[in-house]
Structure 1
Amino acid sequence: MIMEKNAIKRVAILTSGGDAPGMNSSIRAIVKAARWKGLEPYLVYEGYKGLVEGDIRPASDIEVDRYINQGGTFIYSARFPEFKEEKVRLKAKEQLDKKQIQALIVIGGDGSYHGAQLLHTIGIKTIGLPGTIDNDISSSDYTIGFFTALESIVSNIDRIRDTARSHHRCILVEVMGRYAGDLAVYSGIATGAELIITAENKMAIEDIVKVVDHQMNKLKKDSVIIIVTEHVYENLKEIAQKIQTETNVDTRESILGHLQRGGTPTGMERYVAAQMSTYAIELLCDGQSGLAIGLVNNKLQALPILEALAQPRPKYIELINKYAKINQEK
């Protein structure tokens, strides 16, 4: 949908879905860019739930400056499946109209994008920013939150490798990603993991056992690290027990969990967040709406939200196989 340039006077910002480091940096950049363009910025607290309930407050420069280097989202997030209902979305529009807010920037994952698209169809000017540690928004090479989560995972796997070497252990490490393997692939390559397992290369337990046996008992390595994307296997503890029984190699499992979500956003995270956020304001001021912003080949781009959601996922199987061969060498 196209509108007259500079027709908007007020813009609101909300974060939705799982929190991600860099969201606060993005909020700050949007607020600063909005004021630079002569717009009044507002903050929506608790995502789409807060939008429907009318928890919409004027943005404070002092407040957004305070949170630039903090993880999470200081305006909070909430799961709100009720937003799929038309009457609920109309209530959200009513809340924005009441405050004379013409535009909304949504920072979140694919579910958040769907919400922005639905608002776009009923007359709210919307822009989506990819905010998720999973890096599963395929219209962007990198999402806000991915870089910091990756650093957290790499740091923890390095520590896990220390103790694995000290005790001649195999350790299975489960990382987040939902159904995307990006965190597993990037962290596996960065830490020299002997195996990287994602949904696209799920291995039979017997084959995992063979790899561990060869690495530890034949090649006499002092440790083996196996990185697994969440949801690939139901019970890592059982797999660890199977490996230990079949190979006589002391084997443990480690689920990194929510520590992957938090932490101070990296410099690259803040840079990407600032670039995307400023671009979002520029697009709104240029009369554009219903778009999702991405970073592709280090260049900013904007696609219609539904087109962005339809982009194919990258395939990592060749990369995974290559580094399995490299990292399994003595």
Structure 2
Amino acid sequence: MSKGIKKIGVMTSGGDSPGMNAAVRSVVRTCAYHKIECYGIYRGYEGLIEGDFVKMDARSVKGIINKGGTVLKSARSKEFRTKEGRAKAHEQFVKAGIDGFVVIGGDGSFTGAMVFNQEYGFPVMGIPGTIDNDIVGTTHTLGYDTALNTVVEVIDKIRDTASSHNRLFFVEVMGRDVGHIALNAGVGAGAEEILIPEEDLGLERLLDSLRRSKQSGKSSSIVVVAEGDKIGKSVFELKDYVEENMSEYEVRVSVLGHMQRGGSPSCFDRVLASRMGVKAVESLLEGKSNYMVGLKNDLIELTPFDQAVKGKAKIDKELLRVSDIMTV
């Protein structure tokens, strides 16, 4: 291991996701293992600019592996997007003697880290923390697995009501630009239809699908809708359209919202966070910088920030085919 880095900072940035605390714990304890000082940076880049740091050791992170959210808090920083703001951030690092940092967040957080590295050559590593699973370079982002389990559990409960009252439910899940949550949770929960941004189903095809479900003997249906789906202006517009054209259905809408980002992380996310934290710290100590750690073929590997933030995670076409078959 390189002896160049003596103090490492760790922050959580952007939207929270289950597993962030487990990643903070892993970073802190890996630093302790290698006898490197570690500082928690509160409120992401905003806290960095203000020098809101706290020294952390192995005992500082006890009892957080099972907690959702982030003990370091998170915030979005407009000031860090300016050169003046990044200059203040660099001054705070120099003042504290921190010579490398780990940012846990999404593509916006990585973009900020990449620009900061370009301007100051400051060593940085990224850990992908977002439930959307929309970052290139990893098959799973932290929180994605937990969010899927949360959504499937809720849909299972909604189906009980749908079956009892012969209702059609539109269930909106997160996914502004990608449909990973909708597709996987839809298949896992046995949804009759899945609407995602990557596939323009069209209103008429949606009606045809619902009619086939009705004709096949189904008395109730669940349609999972990613919030970024382009068929209608909103899930409520879809509800109105179906009610106008299929009066035999009593239609309800359930928007799951931020409950998908909360809750205790799954075992998968806890283990993934632990592996990623170790890789991030040890990569910094090896002299590497400007990379995101990610899961590929069950191995923790590095992807350059520019590839991670510029690429777009592709939807699983085979799973789309599976979903079509399952709706027969």
Report the TM range for the smaller structure's normalisation. Answer: over 0.9
**Are 1:209 and 2:207 an aligned pair?**
yes
Deviation of 1:318 after TM superposition, in Å, equals: 4.7
Quote the residue 2:286 is aligned against.
Answer: 286
Tell me how far 1:60 sits from its aligned partner: 4.2
Q: Specify whether residues 303 and 316 from structure 1 end up closer, same or farther in structure 2 by C-alpha distance, changes over 3 A only.
A: closer
Tell whether 2:52 aligns with 1:55. yes
Residue-by-residue CA offset, 1:166-221 (whole Å, 9 max, x unaligned) = 111111111112211111111011111111111111222222122112212x1120
Structure 1 residue runs of 5 or longer lacking an equivalent are none
Does residue 1:255 correspond to 2:252, yes or no? no
The whole-number CA distance in structure 2 between the counterparts of 1:105 and 1:251 is 46
Counterpart of 1:238 in structure 2 is 237
> Sequence identity, in percent?
38
2:188 corresponds to which residue? Answer: 190
1:164, 1:158 → 2: CA distance?
A: 10
Mapped contact 2:243–2:249 kept (Cα < 8 A)? yes
State which drifts further: 147-156 or 76-85. 76-85
TM-score relative to the length of structure 2: 0.95
Residue 18 (1) aligns with residue 15 (2): yes
Q: What one-letter code is carried by the residue in structure 1 that aligns with 2:97?
A: Q
Q: 1:76 and 2:102 equivalent?
A: no
2:327 maps to which residue? Answer: 328
1:43 counterpart letter in structure 2 = G
- CA separation of 1:60 and 1:33: change in aligned 2, threshold 3 A: closer
Q: Which amino acid aligns with 1:294?
A: G
CA–CA distance in structure 1, aligned partners of residues 276 and 289 of structure 2: 15
The equivalent position to 1:166 in structure 2, one of 142, 159, 164, is 164
Is the 1:6–1:287 contact (alpha carbons within 8 Å) kept by the matching residues of 2?
no
Q: Are the aligned partners of 2:29 and 2:57 in contact in 1 as well (CA < 8 Å)? A: no
The 10-residue stretch of structure 1 (195-204 or 267-276) with the greater mean CA deviation from structure 2 = 195-204
Aligned-CA RMSD value:
1.4
Say whether the 8 Å CA contact 2:182–2:194 is kept in structure 1. Answer: yes
Q: CA 1:103 to 1:313, structure 2 compared with 1: closer, same or farther past 3 Å?
A: same
Q: For residues 69 and 197 of structure 1, what CA distance do their matches in structure 2 show?
A: 32
Q: Matched residues in 1 for 2:287 and 2:327: separation?
A: 54
Deviation at 1:109, TM superposition (A): 0.3
Q: What is the SS of the residue equivalent to 1:162?
A: helix
- Is the 1:170–1:212 contact (alpha carbons within 8 Å) kept by the matching residues of 2? no
Contact residue 293 and residue 302 of structure 2 kept, 8 A = yes
Contact 1:135 1:177 in 2 (8 A): no
The one-letter amino acid paired with 1:239 is L
Q: In the TM superposition, what is the alpha-carbon distance from 1:146 to its structure 2 partner?
A: 0.5
Per-residue deviation, 1:227: 0.8
Which whole-Å CA distance do the structure 1 matches of 2:249 and 2:303 have between them? Answer: 50
Equivalent residue for 2:122?
124
**SS at 2:188 equivalent:** helix
Residues 70-89 of structure 1 show CA distances to partners (whole Å, capped at 9, x for unaligned) of 00001110111332211111
Aligned equivalents of 1:267, 1:320: Cα separation in 2: 26
The 8 Å contact of residues 133 and 313 in structure 2, kept in 1 or not, is answered as no
CA contact (8 A) 1:212 1:243 kept: no
Provide the residue aligned with 1:269 in structure 2: 269
**CA–CA distance in structure 1, aligned partners of residues 165 and 322 of structure 2:** 28
CA distance in 2, matches of 1:145, 1:260: 9
More deviation, 172-181/60-69:
60-69
Q: Answer yes or no: is the 8 Å Cα contact 2:32–2:57 preserved in 1.
A: no
Is residue 2:92 matched to residue 1:95? yes
Matched, 1:155 2:153: yes
Q: Which amino acid aligns with 1:53?
A: E
1:5-44 correspondence runs (5 A): 5-44=2-41
1:200·1:317 contact (CA, 8 Å) conserved in 2?
no
> Distance between the aligned counterparts of 1:264 and 1:322, measured in 2?
30
The residue identity in structure 1 corresponding to 2:8 is V
- Cα distance in structure 2, aligned partners of 1:289 and 1:88: 21
Cα deviations by residue, 1:270-310 (Å, 9 ceiling, x for unpaired): 00000010011111111111111111111111122112223
* Residue in structure 1 matched with residue 218 of structure 2 by the alignment: 221
CA distance in 2, matches of 1:68, 1:322: 35
Three-state SS of the structure 2 residue aligned to 1:200 is: coil
TM-score, length of structure 1 as denominator length: 0.95
